[in-house]
Amino acid sequence: MMSVHSGELSQLDRNVPEYEANRDCNTFYIQSSTTCDGGSSGSPVVNIDGEAVALMAGGTIMASSNFFFPLHRAAYALDYIRRNEIPPRGTMQAVFTHITHSEAERRALSTETAIEQGLDVENTAGVLSVESIIAMGPADGKLKVGDIVISINNKPIPGFIEMSEIVDSSVGKEVDIRVFRDKQICDIAVPVQDFYSITPSRLLHLGNSWLHDMSFLLAAINSVPISGVFISGVYNSFLGKHNVGEYSIIYSINGTPTPNLDALMEVLKSTPRNQEMAIKLRSSKSARDERIVFARCPMTSTKDRLYTRSSATGFWSHEPYMGLLPGQPLENMVISQKSSAGDVEASVAAAAQNNLLSKIIKKAQCFKRDKICKHIEDSFKTVIGSDSNGGALKPRKLVSKQTSAEKNMPKRMRKVLRSMVTITAQSICNADGSYTKYGHSNGLVVDKKNGIILCSNRLVENTTCQLNVDFNGWAN
């Protein structure tokens, strides 16, 4: 069912609306007084000619206002995607806001000075001003809060579109920014950083905790540098037991700084399992909530995974995490003398696909754990299979069953019915902004030979989902 709402756009260049958990910045939004309500997010905004010009983003009930996200950035990215290229994105690690010409004049930038500097005061609504700067970023110590942007690389900047075009095309270079500051015109060279380099592309699930690098938006919202490891989930985890809440940032472990996820994994690689660690952290919401907690390094588990997002496809892949950096040999893993048979069994399950059984046994024998070695061999048979070649067990062939109801069906209907399946999806982690943990829907087998099933894209929110396909009793 589809409904169409009419309305007029009241503002095309409003700043990012502040409502609920909206965390956008450095872009315009479009405002309207339509009657759209919850559930309409992502719906297209179509002009009188039938052209999509924006997407429904949100709204406020009290003011009866709706906010739309313009599509110029989406069109920019789509142009690169069609050429099978990754669209470049630059950042100066600063948040800008749009102010009117009258507000700029109130800040001592007269209309005459603005016109002399090349700004089109009559045909533009305003200019950009620096709202905040992330510490230790490219703009730190160069730009100042309150600076009014006149031009970048000698091109006047009346809005976000003009600024993003120049910044995105200058990744790895410096841009010359002319600003109005303290009643003076200043020329400043600011390096442009690759935005993807500060965009988290990996998630570490360790001891039921979710860890990843800091992002630009997290740093901008909480006024902290892009440094440290962010804790996005601690439910029933080794950190949650010590009253460590979500949205905390880990800065060091045992006195060793952890500015990013790689540094944290390097520390864990040399930390014996079940050994107590001194973790220095603070809440991202309070600069004064800095403390040190003592938590034991979690035991190796098959649930520990390292998820990696592909910049080319956007898909997430995962691999077992056993306290090693990607590509490091298994000999670097530290097995504590307090390791139990269950802990080693978990390591076996994670390493079995890489044929690393003999190395694990050799490591365990260093501690004369004969019982564990025997347990490893039994676990290996359970994980991989007990065939003579030690390879993975082959799946059983599906056996069709015919019910009494099927006998009375026409052949075409029976064929369609047998192609219907029920799909259950369970999201392992909330990647790509997804939040649904569990869902189920119907699917249609469209290619039996290649195993292709057609289903709603709403069911599979991200590529970390575990899928279970039920053939509705037509096959075992």
**Residues 297-317: tens digit of each pLDDT:** 888 777 888 999 888 778 888
**Residues 282-291: tens digit of each pLDDT:** 887 766 678 8
Category of 344 on φ-ψ map: left (φ > 0), alpha (ψ -120 to 50) or beta: alpha
Reduced to 3 DSSP states, what percent helix, strand and coil does the chain have, rounded to the nearest 5?
25, 30, 45
Phi and psi at residue 26, to the nearest 5°? 55, 45
**Residues 108-167: tens digit of each pLDDT:** 999 999 999 999 888 888 999 999 999 999 999 999 999 999 999 999 999 999 999 999
The percent of residues in the chain predicted with pLDDT above 90, rounded, is 29
Stronger pLDDT, 300 or 446, i.e. the higher one: 446
Using an 8 Å Cβ cutoff, are 221 and 336 in contact? Answer: no
Separation CA 334–CA 336 (nearest Å) = 6
- The three-state (H, E, C) secondary structure of 144-196, written as one string: CCCCEEEEECCEECCCHHHHHHHHHCCCCCEEEEEEEECCEEEEEEEECEEHH
Q: In which band, very low, low, confident or very high, does the pLDDT at 63 lie, cut at 50, 70 and 90?
A: low
* 33 has pLDDT over 90: no
Q: In which band, very low, low, confident or very high, does the pLDDT at 380 lie, cut at 50, 70 and 90?
A: very low
Question: Taking the chain, what is the end-to-end CA distance rounded to the nearest angstrom?
Answer: 36
Q: In which band, very low, low, confident or very high, does the pLDDT at 207 lie, cut at 50, 70 and 90?
A: confident
- The stretch 99-105 carries a mean pLDDT of 92
* 322 has pLDDT over 90: no
**Partners of residue 194 on adjacent β-strands:** 90
- Span of 38-42, 65-69, 456-460 with lowest mean pLDDT: 38-42
- The pLDDT of residue 424 is 83
* 218 has pLDDT over 80: yes
User: Is 190 in a helix, a strand, or coil?
Assistant: strand
- The pLDDT of residue 403 is 58
Stronger pLDDT, 274 or 395, i.e. the higher one: 274
Burial 330-360 (b: 16+ CB within 10 A, else e): beebbbbeebebebbbbbbbbbbeeebbeeb
User: Is 150 in a helix, a strand, or coil?
Assistant: strand
Mean pLDDT estimate for the chain: 78
Separation CA 397–CA 305 (nearest Å) = 30
* Nearest-10 Cα torsion for 294, 363, 343, 305: 80
- The stretch 363-375 carries a mean pLDDT of 48
- The pLDDT of residue 197 is 92
* Pairing status of strand 193-194 against strand 90-91: antiparallel
Give, in degrees to the nearest 5, the angle at Cα 163 between 159 and 169.
155
Using an 8 Å Cβ cutoff, are 426 and 461 in contact? Answer: no
Separation CA 383–CA 302 (nearest Å) = 11
- The pLDDT of residue 317 is 86
- The pLDDT of residue 383 is 41
CB-CB neighbours of 210 under 10 Å: 20
Using an 8 Å Cβ cutoff, are 43 and 56 in contact? Answer: yes
- Span of 10-14, 36-40, 299-303 with lowest mean pLDDT: 36-40
Stronger pLDDT, 465 or 228, i.e. the higher one: 228
User: Which of 463, 465, 437, 467 is closest to 315 using CA atoms?
Assistant: 463
**Partners of residue 96 on adjacent β-strands:** 130
Tokens of 385: 């299979």
120: which residues sit within 8 A by CB, 6+ positions away? 156, 158
